[in-house]
Amino acid sequence: MNKKAFQFVIFLGLISLFADMTYEAARSINGSFLQILGTNGTIVGIVAGLGELVGYGLRFFSGYLADRTRKYWTIVITGYVINLFSVPLLALAGYWQLAVIFMIAERIGKALRNPARDALLSFGSQQMGRGWGYGLHEAMDQIGATLGPLLVSAVLFYKNQNYQIAYAMLTIPAIIAIGILLYCRFLYPHPENLEVKITKVETNGFGKRYWIYLLAVIFIAAGYVDFPIIAYHFKLHSIITDSAIPLFYAVAMATDAVAALIFGRLFDKIGVKTLFIAVCLSTFFAPMVFLGNTSIALAGMILWGIGMGAQESIMKAEIANIIPTEKRGTAFGTFNAAYGLFWFGGSALIGYLYDISLVALIAFSVITQIVAAIVIAVFVRKN
C-alpha cells in the first residue's frame, strides 16, 4: 500500500469528519426546527427533496467542470466554504422561508465540491482497494455525523431547546474542516499523481454497465426517506423528545460508519454483490420507523443507517471501478444528478403521502427498494 496515498485518504476523511459534524448536526434538527416554524409534512418533504434536487442536480455540472478544468482543489474549497458556513446562518432564521434558503445553500455547496472530492478520493484509494478506501472515508465521515447530532442534542437539552444556540455552535467544526482542507491542499497539490495509470479502451460514453447500475441507484434514491420527514414524524407524534431526535440520528450515523467499513472490505472481495446485501438489509426500515414504538423506531433507524453506509461508500466505489480517470468527474456528477432528481421526486411524494396515508408511504418505500435489489441482481449477472 502506498503510504502517501493512504495518508491522503486519511486527510480527506478528517475533512469530512468535521464537515459532517457541521451539516449533519443541522440536518438532524432541521425537520423539527421547520415544524416549530410552522410547516406541515408536505412542505418538509418538498424542502428535503428540493435541497437534494438542487444539490445533486448541480453535481452534473460541477463534475463536468472538474474534468474539463482539472481545478479539483479550487472547486472543492469553494464548495466546502458555501456548504459549511450556510449552517450557522440558520441561527438567524426567524421564519421558515429564510431557513429553507440557508438549507438549500448548504446543499448547493455540497453539490459543488462533491464530484471533485470523489474524484480526488478515487486517486488516493486505488492502491489500497476502492472498497476499503471509500469505506474508510465514509466511516470517518460518519464519526463526524455522529458527533454533530450528539453536540446539538446536548445543546438543546441544556439550553432549553434553543435551536439558535445549537446552530451557532456549529461554526467551530466548520472552521476546523476548512483549516484541514487548506493544509491538505498545501501537502498534495497534484493528487492525481497518486493513482497508477492503467490503459483502458476508449469509448464515447459510459457503457451499458454504468446505465444499468444507475437504474438501480435511482430506485434506491426515490424510496429512501430523508431524515427531516422522520424527525418531523417523531416531533409531531411525540415518539421521542426534541433532544432525543438528534440522538436517534447519531445512532443511525454510527451504524453508517460501521457498515461502511464492513461493506468496504467485503466489496473488495465480492464486488457489487455487497450493495445487494445492504439494500436487502435496509429495505424494511420504513414500517419500523413510522409504525413502531420508541424501541422499534430505533431499530428502524439502525437499518436506515446500514443503507446510508452502503450508499455513501461502496456505491461510489463501483463508479470508480468502471469509469476511466479522465471521465470520472462527469460520471460522478451524472450519477449524483440522477440520484438527486429521483430523491427529490421521491421525497416530495413521500411528504405528500405522509399527510394522507402512512401505509401508502411505507409501501412506496419498500417496493422501490425491492425493485432496486432486483436491478442490482441483473447488474451482477451481466458482470
Q: How far is residue 328's CA from residue 112's CA, in Å, rounded to a whole number?
A: 15
Q: What is the DSSP letter of 197?
A: P
Poorest-confidence range of 90-104, 218-232, 280-294, 332-346? 332-346
pLDDT greater than 90 at residue 365 = yes
As for how many domains the chain has, the answer is 1
Predicted pLDDT of residue 205: 61
CA angle 46, 141, 13 (to 5 degrees): 135
Q: How far is residue 69's CA from residue 79's CA, in Å, rounded to a whole number?
A: 16
Predicted pLDDT of residue 114: 87
Predicted pLDDT of residue 176: 97
Residue 39: domain span: 3-189+204-382
Residue found under cell 462527469: 330
Single-letter amino acid, residue 173: P
Side-chain half-sphere exposure of 260, counting CA atoms within 13 A = 28
Predicted pLDDT of residue 198: 56
8 Å CB contact between 240 and 133: no
Average pLDDT score over the chain: 87
Phi/psi class of residue 207: alpha, beta or left (left: φ > 0; alpha: ψ in -120 to 50)?
left
Q: Tell me the pTM.
A: 0.73
pLDDT greater than 60 at residue 54 = yes
18's enclosing H/E stretch is: helix 3-36
Instruction: Kindly indicate the confidence band of residue 28, based on its pLDDT and cuts at 50, 70 and 90.
Output: confident
Predicted pLDDT of residue 383: 65
Predicted pLDDT of residue 281: 92
- Mean pLDDT calculated for residue range 160-183: 94
Instruction: Kindly indicate the confidence band of residue 29, based on its pLDDT and cuts at 50, 70 and 90.
Output: confident
Does any domain span residue 300? yes
Give the CATH number of the domain where residue 48 resides: 1.20.1250.20
Q: What is the DSSP letter of 196?
A: P
- Mean pLDDT calculated for residue range 276-296: 93
- Mean pLDDT calculated for residue range 250-256: 87
Does any domain span residue 198? no
Instruction: Name the residue with higher pLDDT: 244 or 219.
Output: 219
pLDDT greater than 50 at residue 225 = yes
Does any domain span residue 196? no
Instruction: Kindly indicate the confidence band of residue 280, based on its pLDDT and cuts at 50, 70 and 90.
Output: very high
- Mean pLDDT calculated for residue range 304-329: 81
Instruction: Kindly indicate the confidence band of residue 1, based on its pLDDT and cuts at 50, 70 and 90.
Output: low
Instruction: Name the residue with higher pLDDT: 112 or 28.
Output: 112
Instruction: Kindly indicate the confidence band of residue 88, based on its pLDDT and cuts at 50, 70 and 90.
Output: very high
The C-alpha cell of 185 is what? 491542499
What percent of the chain has a predicted confidence (pLDDT) above 70?
96
Does any domain span residue 199? no
pLDDT greater than 80 at residue 126 = no
Does any domain span residue 311? yes
Alpha carbon separation from 296 to 10, 69, 273, 277, 289 (Å, rounded): 35, 49, 28, 22, 7
Nearest to 111 by CA among 376, 345, 344, 348: 344
Does any domain span residue 197? no
